[in-house]
Structure formats: structure tokens, C-alpha cells
């Protein structure tokens, strides 16, 4: 049985279909792109005005913050003291990152005590991850690995701004569910349709919508979808606050009150979410 059943969006049928079961949005104009080295570097610099490698300190700080968030819900792996030239032993706390880029998050997770593995499409980033950081990263698409190949293999599966790029929505979500151990944690970061841009300025949302984002999620659609898949949501927050983008009443709130509302209801153009796979 399919997880998704898409019908025309009642308000924006030229842009979206909406899933009857979950509320996930399918972006109809989306097109496939090649995700090689040039895509990765050009897109990052275009958005952040610096190269990915120039931004390493900030990216590592973000990785540490994410791991600190995770530690509030997941047991922190224990690492024994060993010769620094040898690989550290782990107590079976395994972490997979889908779309691991140059490996900064994986490296911080390894330092925290996880046994890590990454999947990345950019050959340059795979080479850097392996040769410079000594990480276990495969140059593979997530969909090229069979669903059952890594069944219940990971304590944590993470994907930061990745799943919206994957056109096989059934394939990616079945893998996310299957690859996690019971009691394991899923950590996602995604653009969100429940934020100031889409909710109050849809014209601008569609004008700037990335052409290679096939699906749009929100806190509401993710909670419905994850519940169907046997998860409970432990943590969800906006990643940034853009009250100036909100053309409605919320945009007129004092900044402290806007942020309070945004945190309470996961109202933002981008969100992070941690969910635990049920054990029964």
C-alpha cells in the first residue's frame, strides 16, 4: 500500500499536489539535476557568500549544536581511551548521514563517540571525507542501496536539506524507516511550507522555489507521516527567524514574541526535527 496519495492542491493546483494522508506537498515544476562538485560549491557560495570550506568553523559549530540536541534524547556513545593512531572502539552507536558533503558533521559525530558512515554524491567531497578526515563515506545515491541491505543497522540516521531533492518519496521514506534500529533516532532539516514565506507571501515563495525540490514538508505533514511510519516526534524547531518576511499579523509582533510563537509552533521557512522510531 502506498504511503502517499497526491491530489491537486485546492489553492495552487498549477504548482502543487497535496497528499491526502499526510499533507506533504509535491512541487509539480520540479526537475532532476546533477549533483556534482560544481553544483555543491556554486550553490553553497551563492547562498552563503562563502565557500563550504571557508565556512568550516560555522559548520562544525552547527554540527556540535545538533549533536547536543540529539544527546538530550539519545544515549551518548561511550568511547574508551586508546592509542590515537588506532581507531576508537564504539559501543554499537552507529550514525548514518545521507548527503554528508565534506564530512564535518560526521567528523564531529565520530569525536562524540559514534561509529559513522556517510553517503555523498559529490566526488570531491567524498575524496575529502575519506582522504583528509579518514571517514567511511560511499559515493552512492541513497536509492542505489536496497532497502533491506541496511535493515535496522543505525542508531541515528540524519539528512540535512537532502530529502526534498529526492523524487522517489516512497523509496526514501521506506529506507529511513527500515535502516533505523527500533528506538533509533531520525534527525532531519528541511525547508518548511509552514513559515512566513509560503504562509503570507506565496508569490515570492514560488518565485524563489528551488527547481530541484520535489517535495515540501511542514511540521504538520511530518508529524502525520512519521506517526504512520511508527515514529514519535521528540524535537522540532525553526532553524531561523525571519519576522520581516511575514506579511501577516505575526510579522507585526515584537521580535521576542514572534520567536516565542515560532518556537512553540515550529513556524519557520526551515526547520529541524528529531523523531524516535518506536520499539513496538
pLDDT tens for 165-218 read 999 999 999 999 999 999 999 999 999 999 999 999 999 999 999 999 999 999
User: 33: which 3 cell numbers?
Assistant: 539535476
Kindly state the average pLDDT of the residues 11-31: 97
* 174, 147 contact by CB (below 8 A): yes
Give the pLDDT confidence score for residue 84 in this predicted structure: 40
- Alpha-carbon distance 83 to 72, whole Å? 29
Q: Is 67 helix (H, G, I), strand (E, B) or coil?
A: helix
β-sheet bridge partners, residue 79: 90
What's this model's pTM, rounded to 2 decimal places?
0.91
152 conformational bin, left if phi > 0, alpha if psi -120 to 50, beta if neither: left
- Alpha-carbon distance 269 to 242, whole Å? 8
- Alpha-carbon distance 269 to 194, whole Å? 7
Residues in the chain: 280
Give the pLDDT confidence score for residue 28 in this predicted structure: 98
Up-side HSE of residue 73: CA atoms within 13 Å toward CB?
A: 21
Q: Is the pLDDT of residue 88 over 80?
A: no
β-sheet bridge partners, residue 26: 17, 215
Up-side HSE of residue 255: CA atoms within 13 Å toward CB?
A: 4
Q: How far is CA 172 from the centre of its chain?
A: 12
User: 240: which 3 cell numbers?
Assistant: 531561523
User: 129: which 3 cell numbers?
Assistant: 571525507
User: 90: which 3 cell numbers?
Assistant: 564504539
- Alpha-carbon distance 26 to 29, whole Å? 9
Tens of pLDDT along 253-272? 999 999 999 999 999 999 99
Amino acid at each position: 500500500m502506498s504511503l502517499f496519495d497526491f491530489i491537486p492542491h485546492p489553492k495552487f493546483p498549477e504548482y502543487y499536489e497535496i497528499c491526502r494522508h499526510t499533507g506533504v506537498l509535491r512541487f509539480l515544476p520540479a526537475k532532476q539535476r546533477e549533483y556534482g562538485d560544481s553544483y555543491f560549491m556554486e550553490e553553497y557560495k551563492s547562498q552563503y557568500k562563502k565557500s563550504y570550506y571557508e565556512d568550516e568553523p560555522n559548520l562544525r559549530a552547527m554540527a556540535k549544536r545538533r549533536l547536543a540536541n540529539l544527546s538530550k534524547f539519545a544515549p551518548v556513545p561511550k568511547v574508551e581511551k586508546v592509542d590515537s593512531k588506532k581507531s576508537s572502539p564504539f559501543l554499537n552507536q552507529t550514525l548514518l548521514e545521507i548527503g554528508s558533503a565534506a564530512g564535518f558533521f560526521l567528523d564531529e559525530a565520530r569525536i562524540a563517540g559514534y561509529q559513522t558512515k556517510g553517503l555523498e554524491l559529490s566526488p570531491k567531497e567524498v575524496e575529502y571525507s575519506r582522504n583528509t578526515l579518514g571517514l567511511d563515506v560511499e559515493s552512492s545515491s541513497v536509492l542505489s542501496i536496497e532497502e533491506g541491505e541496511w535493515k535496522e543497522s543505525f542508531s541515528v540516521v540524519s539528512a540535512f536539506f537532502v530529502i526534498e531533492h529526492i523524487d522517489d518519496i516512497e523509496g526514501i521514506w521506506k529506507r529511513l524507516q527500515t535502516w533505523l534500529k527500533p528506538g533509533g533516532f531520525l534527525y532531519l532539516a528541511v525547508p518548511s511550507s509552514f513559515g512566513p514565506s509560503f504562509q503570507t507571501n506565496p508569490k515570492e515563495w514560488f518565485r524563489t522555489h528551488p527547481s530541484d525540490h520535489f517535495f515540501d514538508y511542514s511540521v504538520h505533514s511530518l508529524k502525520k507521516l512519521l506517526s504512520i511510519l511508527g515514529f514519535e516526534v521528540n524535537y522540532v524547531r525553526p532553524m531561523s527567524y525571519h519576522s520581516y518576511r511575514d506579511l501577516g499579523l505575526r510579522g507585526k509582533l515584537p521580535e521576542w514574541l514572534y520567536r516565542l510563537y515560532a518556537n512553540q509552533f515550529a513556524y519557520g521557512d526551515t526547520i529541524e526535527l528529531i523523531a524516535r522510531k518506536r520499539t513496538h
